């Protein structure tokens, strides 16, 4: 199963038998609204706090994924989930509701693919027949924790990104119909010394490039192997930096094949500054939009490279730089 230095190949081809994707009002007004299963017109979701609203989004996405597969919670062996809140409360509290044996993950916005990679590994190794992998974020809870509460009215610089309010869940199974997970590359921390939490894209771009290079090396493939290579949430600033870095390193990815979930999710006229971010960014875009495109046959093999900025509010206040990470997962249309 180990492929090269830091990758796994899943020879038993775990299947994503269903996905659940939930979003808020800003996502409902976005470019990919049709790819969401559940959309809310209220960022509070009728809850008392934004943190509770985020937990609710995650629960809804998970329940939707289980429901679409025609299964019950009891049929799922393990639940792997993560988010951006301190002590990943959204995931743990959603796990309390779901009652599925649970492993919490923290990979910041890279959690979606970290979860999918580990879930696929467990399935491939025969450790379970059904594993649910999920991630969530909420614009208001994240702003409160990492930046400033919206009501504080602090200005955002042009490099700032808009945290996606939403959650995405994928139910991975040993057998069934759906896109197959065939490989994964686990990233290492890359930190080039950027310490500005309003410029996460730039902080994460080198990590994305490092993981893409490692993936190509481990699997002995190049960009032509994929119909699409999507990074998680680099946004406009980070996407351009990653593009430049790839050219500098001699890695050729044609522009029409290389995209970023943070650039896809919103419309141009939405005030998202440099693009979307957050755990839910790659989770909702991958489990909604990208897999829908794959189901329609528009794309056959994709590489999703979810990027994470592993800072904490405390590390930022102590003037620490931002460690970046990226995990890549290969998804393929079945039968091709």
Partner 1 sequence: MEKYLIAFVIGGTICVIGQIMLDVFRLTPAHMTVTLVVTGAILGGLGLYEPLVKFAGAGASVPISSFGNSLVKGALSEAKSTGLVGVLTGIFEVTSAGISSAIIFGFLASLFFKPKG
Binding site for partner 1 (CB under 8 A): 43-44, 50, 139-140, 148-152, 154-155, 157, 196
Please, which residue, 69 or 194, has the CB nearer to partner 1?
Answer: 194
Least separation in angstroms between residue 251's CB and partner 1 is 31
Question: Strands, E, within 86-212: which ranges?
Answer: 102-104, 130-137, 162-163, 166-173, 180-185
Least separation in angstroms between residue 94's CB and partner 1 is 20
Least separation in angstroms between residue 43's CB and partner 1 is 4
> How far apart are the C-alpha atoms of 303 and 331, rounded to whole Å?
6
Q: Which long-range contacts (CB under 8 A, 24 or more apart) does 315-322 make?
A: 316/146, 316/195, 316/197, 319/195, 320/195, 321/191, 321/192, 321/193, 321/194, 321/195, 321/203, 322/191, 322/194, 322/195, 322/196, 322/197, 322/200, 322/203, 322/204
Least separation in angstroms between residue 162's CB and partner 1 is 12
Estimate the crossing angle of helix 200-219 against helix 235-248, to 10 degrees. Answer: 40
Least separation in angstroms between residue 87's CB and partner 1 is 22
Least separation in angstroms between residue 167's CB and partner 1 is 16
Answer positive or negative: Cα dihedral of 333, 261, 3, 102: negative
Please, which residue, 150 or 312, has the CB nearer to partner 1?
Answer: 150
> How far apart are the C-alpha atoms of 239 and 233, rounded to whole Å?
9
Please, which residue, 127 or 157, has the CB nearer to partner 1?
Answer: 157
Please, which residue, 152 or 250, has the CB nearer to partner 1?
Answer: 152
Please, which residue, 41 or 256, has the CB nearer to partner 1?
Answer: 41
Answer positive or negative: Cα dihedral of 217, 220, 223, 227: negative
Least separation in angstroms between residue 154's CB and partner 1 is 5
Q: By 3-state DSSP, what share of the chain in percent is helix, strand and coil, each rounded to 5?
A: 40, 25, 35
> How far apart are the C-alpha atoms of 29 and 36, rounded to whole Å?
11
Least separation in angstroms between residue 244's CB and partner 1 is 23
Please, which residue, 140 or 185, has the CB nearer to partner 1?
Answer: 140
Please, which residue, 3 or 47, has the CB nearer to partner 1?
Answer: 47
Please, which residue, 195 or 292, has the CB nearer to partner 1?
Answer: 195
Q: Which two tokens stand for residue 28?
A: 């409902």
Number of helices followed by number of strands (H, E) in the chain = 11, 15
> How far apart are the C-alpha atoms of 278 and 85, rounded to whole Å?
11
């Amino acid at each position: 199963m180990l492929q090269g230095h830091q990758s796994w190949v899943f020879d038993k081809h775990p299947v994503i038998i269903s996905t659940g994707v939930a979003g808020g009002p800003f996502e409902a007004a976005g470019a990919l609204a049709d790819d969401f299963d559940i959309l809310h017109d209220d960022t509070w979701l009728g809850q008392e706090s934004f943190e509770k609203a985020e937990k609710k989004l995650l629960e809804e996405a998970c329940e939707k994924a289980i429901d679409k597969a025609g299964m019950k919670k009891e049929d799922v062996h393990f639940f792997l989930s993560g988010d951006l809140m301190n002590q990943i409360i959204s995931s743990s509290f959603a796990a309390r509701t779901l009652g599925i044996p649970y492993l919490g993950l923290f990979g910041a916005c890279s959690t979606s693919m970290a979860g999918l990679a580990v879930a696929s590994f467990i399935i491939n190794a025969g450790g379970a027949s059904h594993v649910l992998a999920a991630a969530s974020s909420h614009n208001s809870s994240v702003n409160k924790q990492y930046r400033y509460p919206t009501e504080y009215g602090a200005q955002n610089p042009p490099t700032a990104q808009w945290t996606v309010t939403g959650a995405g869940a994928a139910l991975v199974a040993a057998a069934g119909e759906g896109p197959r997970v065939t490989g994964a590359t686990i990233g290492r921390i890359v930190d080039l010394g950027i310490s500005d939490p309003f410029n996460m894209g730039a902080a994460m771009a080198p990590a994305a490039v490092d993981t893409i290079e490692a993936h190509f090396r481990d699997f002995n493939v190049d960009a032509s192997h994929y119909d699409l290579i999507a990074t998680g949430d680099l946004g406009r600033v980070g996407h351009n930096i990653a593009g430049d870095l790839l050219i500098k390193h001699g890695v050729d990815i044609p522009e029409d094949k290389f995209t970023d979930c943070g650039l896809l999710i919103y419309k141009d006229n939405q005030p998202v500054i440099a693009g979307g971010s957050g755990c839910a960014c790659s989770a909702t875009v991958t489990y909604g939009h990208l897999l829908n495109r794959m189901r329609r046959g528009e794309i056959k093999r994709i590489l999703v490279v979810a990027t994470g900025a592993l800072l904490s509010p405390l590390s930022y206040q102590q003037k620490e730089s931002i460690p970046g990470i990226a995990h890549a997962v290969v998804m393929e249309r079945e039968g091709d």
